[in-house]
Structure 1
Amino acid sequence: MKKNPTYVIPTAESETVEFKSSFQDEVIITLVAFANAKGGSVYVGVGDKGDIKGVSLGKETVQNWINEIKIKTQPSLIPDVETLEVEGKTIVLLKMQEYPIKPVSIKGKCYKRIGNSNHLMGVEEIANEHLKTINGSWDFYPDPHHSLKDISLEKVSRFIHRIEQRTENKIPYTPVEFLTKMEMLREGKLTFGAYLLFVADYCPISDIQVGRFKSNITIIDSISLNTDLFSEVEEIIAFIKKHLMVEYIITGEPQRTERFDYPLDAIREIVINMIVHRDYRDSSGSVIKIFDNRIEFYNPGKLFGGITIEDLLTGNYSSKSRNKLIAKAFKEVGLIERYGSGIHRVQEICKDYGVIAPVFEEFSGGFRVVLFNEKQGIQKDDTIKGGLSGGLSGGLNDGLNDADRFLLSLIEKNPGIQLKEILSVVENKSQRTLERQIAQLIERKLIERRGSRKTGGYWKVNKEVQS
């Protein structure tokens, strides 16, 4: 400790500066918050507004403060201390560096410095700080409830074979040896990540609900999955694909080209990302809802590592993975090309496919992606609508010509489209001819008018007739 009569204190509190009139538990709380953040300094004997009040010090006062800080914190903190003389008064400067082992607590509570105040950390923040400290993640930890007998070594062998196919290199290890090399088996104990990747049967923490909805409350088909993560990816994509509509592209070739109304590559990217980055410590499950005009993908757990939605959309962030072991496993078999590129890839895929941009949002304590099948503006190509699960491509195609199919496609893909907009797309057809064609489709109950004739109204494909 030393005296410094020329010392100039900061003018205001900040992320790394705190003023305290006297020594009390609030001083220790601030030191803990600094230790869990970027470090900082506490000036004891200074008022909230920077006014110098000074403190009275006895022979053992400062040493007693240090002992109290050490006793009340875990791990024990010992700050650097300086005794300063400012404006003829004595103040004590306590300096705390960022602590290498986090989180630090006082009386069992953990605090972190945010701005110029101390923030009480929640359970998830505490766990994440601890995991960052050891440069690990939750899925690297030994699972106390499961062992090798709970996973399928055959699934591990298939995983090894996929890596061999991708790398064209032989892996000379048994499944158990391989798990050890990959740190999926640590000191003979199965990790949480290995359990999720290779579980033999029912897995209670990997549950995903997938449903096909006709309305917000009407489900016409669904599956519930509680299996290993690789299997879930394939089963989810197969279920979604079953419920997609097919468009037929007339190219001039003898056979027409089929195209799904959603980009499959975007669906696969979203599904893989939600499975890899899900917070499996959360008791709620993942949910996928397929509607007529959108697919909603919901994961429990907010964005990891302090990333915001704005960061995601601008790409202004460094990639951080909640589940490093799981992410590494998916990358080994080529399901992840590059860490942190998923959101950008989905955006680019949708743009190239000609559908409107997906929505990324924090929702109900978790993260949601909404994918749409609506085209970017009215399409002026020769896309011909396939049926809803076979609809128009089945019996209703009898008696329909290409012009009818194209018109049905246009109305289906552009809800609310009006007559003048249809005329701008359909070439070489007068308004009177188009009105006659529409009247015939209405008579066959393939479409129905919505709105008044006075305002023009619009048409809607009658899906009840199609089903």
Structure 2
Amino acid sequence: MTKFGQENSTTEFKRQLSDALEKEVVAFLNSAKGGDLYIGVDDDGEVLGVSDVDAQMLAISDRIRNNILPSCLGLYDVYAQEHEGKTVIHVVVTRGTEKPYYLKRYGQSPAGCFTRVGSGVQPMTTGMIDQLYAGRVRHSLRNIPAPTTLKLTFQQLKIYYQEKGFEINDTFLHNLDLYVPDSERLNYASYLLADTNSISIKVAKYAGTDKCDLIENQEYGYCSLLKATHRVLDKLEIENRTLTRITGAAEREQRRLFNARALREALINAIIHNDYTAEVPPLVEIYADRISITSYGGLLSGLSLEECLSGRSMPRNRELMRIFRDMELVEHLGSGMRRILNAYDSSIVHISEHFFELRFPMSSEALALIPEVAESGAESGAESGAESLSKKILHLLRDAALSKSELSSQLGLKSVTGALNRAVNALLEAHWIERTLPDKPQSRLQKYRLTHAGRLGTDASGKQDVVDGGDF
């Protein structure tokens, strides 16, 4: 048996693209969990493969987009995958939030509405259709008018699309589902993507491991959500420092404080799945030992924690999902959580009724790499040897804050050398130490002390590594 296993309530195999495509997709959209449709696999799971893959993928996307209502853009994904030397087309369909979905030509009737029963597809009864329609989510971004009477502009959004090679025409906003259905009024999704709005992503930075000492509070927004996303990604890239240790023979060992791809996926997931109808934006919090990324809304109704952790996706805001995929910020439905949990275990996930939070701990391996400062010539003097100058400084600061003169004296130096200045500056830049008088960096009373990250780093590097360097 191949890795595709057997057909079941969430898996369907097709030998080739057929007229039943839309029916299968509608059934998954109307189901409890969505599902996966593989084209190029027979009913027993044997891989047959398909030819002219690009043309078939384009045809599948066009048929789903044009033949199914309500619009399901952002709720499905189509891509090719290789197996046993053959190419299979994988259509991922998430459970829809505006049920019932139906075939456009037959309307919202038993002839057009289908659902998944076991490994098969069955027409829905009139009672089932009425029940789903009564429970339809009406507060989606698509159905809510933009909360402003001012004219919205979309130059930033158009630039992003042009840079990706898309053609901009008069139907651009309509094609992105940025109007309220059956209306010429722009919707809430358009408001989030407009050049100017009132939405911002908050980034707070604290000196310690709690919220007592706020040292930075920034807001990235009041512009297109795409632009705000890129700005916060840039901020996370700056905060995710790379620590280096010279291991000898001009070789360096480098590690970042956090897994960069996991951070990126977490932020994008938070932005896409945030419940903006409550006017609560995503939040990023940077602590001395972790980064927390939180979105409002908790788990979407109908999606269990187990399903979420396994990568089963159900976009809260399908309009945003579609646009972020166009911008290649999202690869496949459900791929983000899988990538996050490939780098971290599920203990980082914290879910309450209204919030979905991911807490990323600093890498202990990275913290063990104390920043190194190159030393050379006569200036190094007593600073050379098995133990680096950086480690010596950190060791001295374990017990008390010291000035540069005090550090110089305890290091056995006659004066404050250039190497000592460079080492202190490197440790400051890496946030391993901090000034006792941060507002007066040139004060003669200035001293330096370990930060929380510095203490974690010296602990992670090990006592033996620090103490037995030769000079203490």
TM-score, length of structure 1 as denominator length: 0.51
Aligned to 1:200: 195
SS at 1:336 equivalent = coil
> What amino acid is aligned across from residue 174 of structure 2 in structure 1?
T
In structure 1, what is the Cα distance between the partners aligned to 2:361 and 2:347? Answer: 6
- In the other structure, the counterpart of 2:283 is 287
Which residue number in structure 2 is paired with residue 212 of structure 1? 205
* Bigger Cα displacement from structure 2, 363-372 vs 323-332: 363-372
* Aligned AA (1:345): R
* Identity over aligned pairs, percent: 17
The 8 Å contact of residues 368 and 460 in structure 2, kept in 1 or not, is answered as no
C-alpha separation in 1, matches of 2:132 and 2:126: 14
Name the aligned partner's letter for residue 361 of structure 2.
F
Alignment correspondent of 2:320: 326
The corresponding residue for 2:371 is 386
Q: Match of 2:159?
A: 158
The residue type paired with residue 278 of structure 1 is N
Q: How does 1:304-319 map to 2 (within 5 A)?
A: 304-315=300-311, 318-319=312-313
In the alignment, the residues of structure 1 paired with residue 163 and residue 264 of structure 2 have an alpha-carbon distance, to the nearest angstrom, of 18
Report the counterpart of residue 149 of structure 1 in structure 2: 151
2:175 corresponds to which residue?
181
**Distance in 2 (alpha carbons) for counterparts of 1:313 and 1:358:** 11
Moved over 6 A (4+): none
Aligned to 1:131, which of 137, 160, 164? 137
- Shift in CA distance, 292/364, structure 1 to aligned 2, threshold 3 Å: farther
SS in 1 for 2:233: helix
Give a deviation string over 1:280-325, Cα, whole Å, max 9, x none: 112433221111111111111111132232332344xx42111000
The equivalent residue for 2:349 is 360
Asked if the contact 2:243–2:367 (Cα under 8 Å) also holds between the matched residues in 1, the reply is: no
Counterpart residue type for residue 313 of structure 1? L
Using the TM superposition, give the Cα deviation of residue 211 of structure 1 relative to its aligned residue in structure 2, in angstroms: 1.0
8 A Cα contact 1:246 1:386, kept in partner? no
* Number of aligned residue pairs: 282
**Preserved contact between residue 246 and residue 261 of structure 1 (Cα < 8 Å):** yes
Higher relative contact order (CA 8 A, sep 6+): 2
Supply the distance in 2 between the matched residues of 1:368 and 1:286 (Cα, whole angstroms).
10
Rounded to whole Å, the distance in 2 between the matches of 1:295 and 1:131 is 33
Change (3 A) 1:338 1:268: same
1:71-117 deviations in Å (ceiling 9; x for gaps): xxxxxxxxxxxxxxxxxxxxxxxx9943435464xxxxxxxxxxxxx
The Cα shift of 1:261 comes to 1.2
Q: Determine the C-alpha separation between the residues in 2 that align with 1:415 and 1:383.
A: 7
Once the two structures are superposed, residues 147-200 of structure 1 have per-residue CA deviations (whole angstroms, 9 ceiling, x without a partner) of 6822x3311321221331xxxxx52x33x4211222223542212112112x22
Cα separation, partners in 2 of 1:180 and 1:411, compared to 1, 3 Å: closer
* Match in the other structure for 1:73: none
| Aligned: 1:98 with 2:92 | no
Structure 1 residues 220-235: aligned runs within 5 Å:
220-227=215-222, 228-235=224-231
The one-letter amino acid of 2:387's match is: A
Change (3 A) 1:182 1:190: same
Q: Distance in 2 between matches of 1:182 and 1:411?
A: 48
CA distance in 2, matches of 1:296, 1:382: 18
What secondary structure sits across from 1:385 in the alignment? coil
